[in-house]
Structure 1
Amino acid sequence: MQNTSKYFNLSDMMVEYFNFENKERDIPYYNHNPRLTKHAWIVLLSSVLISFIFYALFEDVSEFFASFIFCAILLVPLMYYSDWDFSLIFHRPTKSEIKLALILFIGYLIYAIILGGVIEALLSITTTTSELTVNAESLISLVFSMMAEELIKFIPFVFIMRLVYKSTSNRKLSIITSTFIVLIFFGLLHYDFETSIISVLLLQGLGSLFELYGYIKTKNLFVPYLSHLLTDAVIFILILFGL
């Protein structure tokens, strides 16, 4: 992996970091680090919609293949427009980053259990979506589908951050605005007619703050990916064994 410092020099940039961030790395694309053309942004944003369409088309044929296509449609164009520099987004996880992913995983489970119970008790709203059919293939497919879900958050996140930063030159405001919009967007993606919009906005939407925090802190998409993968893997295993 190449060093992303070729795209930016932190000592020369008037940027503001949150105290919890790794200041040796920066979020890519928002400040032309590197620059993405309008055409590239259109393709990347379109890939979010297209990935869902292809997943729906192949899900009944093979969940594993559908998950692979789901991920590839998002990842390949993103890497293409990044000149295949994977270090813009991914880094080999350090011990501290793996530890952080585990903490975020545990934190989300506690959050989901407590908030889910509160929603059901106070609002009489079910916090479960439609019944899931879980088997070995669906469990293995999480390897690709969870990366796809992180990319579905990442692409809009950096795009919105770019728009806000372009007009304000305020990095912190760009991150906060983008985070808020992406949390709502990701929550609504989980909405169906068998569940409550309140539950998806709070559990899947606001709950994604755990993963976004992991990314913003480390600038390493492997951290939220590992946290998200562990979360869904545990849920799937519990369902698989009827627990």
Structure 2
Amino acid sequence: MVIINFIISKVFVLSKNDTNDFPLAIFLTGTIPALYICKGNYGLFFKKLRLKDIKLIILCVIGVYIYVVLIRLILSPVGMTAHAGLDSSVSLLTIVNLLLQVLGEEFFKVFILLIAMYLVYKITGNRNMSIFIGLIASMIIFGLAHYDAYDGKILQILLVQGFGSIFEYYAYLKTKNILVSYLIHLIQDLIPVVMILLHIIPV
């Protein structure tokens, strides 16, 4: 496992100098440890989608956009936006990159959540407290992982990327299925990309 983490860290650092490789690095950072842990038992992370899972995905995506509107009302008066900025150079490759990067991000989020929950539970013996503190800690860590994308604006980082990921976390905790949280995350990221490709929104 130490060797795997070493390889991942090298790939991640090298890719920071090439934005084309960055989505692949995120994908590898999240999925390699997952493949190592499950040892072929993919049911630990993925399950078949059920009808109620699809309903949950739709509701959570709607919830995300309602949240974005509310956060925009908070951030606009202080000169901040509810997104990191749209890239006018989007292409089909952008979509491929998203497919990989989002999966890696979801694995990363789940690992941080489970580790935080485990540590808190070992200390307190309280399951509800471990979930609550684990969620707060993992959302903050995930938000801070986007530090560069938001030019270090902590309030924007935490409200948009950090606490804004609550819908994916909720979906995972409810279903224990990363595929559900992955699709919620992917859909919300794909919508603006597709709208740019179709020239529905300007950049």
Settle same-fold status: TM greater than 0.5: yes
- Equivalent residues in 2 for 1:169-208 (5 A)? 169-192=125-148, 194=151, 196-208=153-165
- Equivalent residues in 2 for 1:156-175 (5 A)? 156-175=112-131
1:44/1:78 contact within 8 Å kept: no
The number of residue pairs the alignment matches comes to: 198
Match of 1:126 in 2: 81
Please identify which structure carries the higher helix content: 2
Larger-Rg structure: 1
The answer to whether structure 1 residue 151 and structure 2 residue 79 are counterparts is: no
Secondary structure of the structure 1 residue equivalent to 2:38: coil
Per-residue displacement from partner, 1:30-65 (whole Å, max 9, x unpaired)?
Answer: xxxxxxxxxx5x6787787556425425533xx5xx
Structure 1 residues 199 and 69, CA gap change in structure 2 (3 angstroms): closer
Work out the CA distance in 1 between the residues paired with 2:129 and 2:86. 39
| One-letter code aligned to 1:209 | I
Match of 1:226 in 2: 183
TM-score of the superposed pair, with normalisation by structure 1: 0.72
Secondary structure of the structure 2 residue equivalent to 1:81: helix
Work out the CA distance in 2 between the residues paired with 1:108 and 1:229. 12
Greater shift after overlay, 99-108 or 186-195? 186-195
Work out the CA distance in 1 between the residues paired with 2:83 and 2:192. 12
Alignment identity in percent?
29
Q: Return 5+ residue gaps in structure 2 as ranges.
A: none
**CA-based RMSD:** 2.5
2:8/2:25 contact within 8 Å kept: no
Match of 1:59 in 2: 19
Per-residue displacement from partner, 1:178-231 (whole Å, max 9, x unpaired)?
Answer: 100011111112223646321121011111001100001111111110000000
Work out the CA distance in 2 between the residues paired with 1:73 and 1:146. 11
How far residue 68 of structure 1 moved from its aligned partner, in angstroms, is: 3.8
| One-letter code aligned to 1:219 | K
The answer to whether structure 1 residue 211 and structure 2 residue 168 are counterparts is: yes
Match of 2:94 in 1: 138
Match of 2:59 in 1: 103
TM-score of the superposed pair, with normalisation by structure 2: 0.85
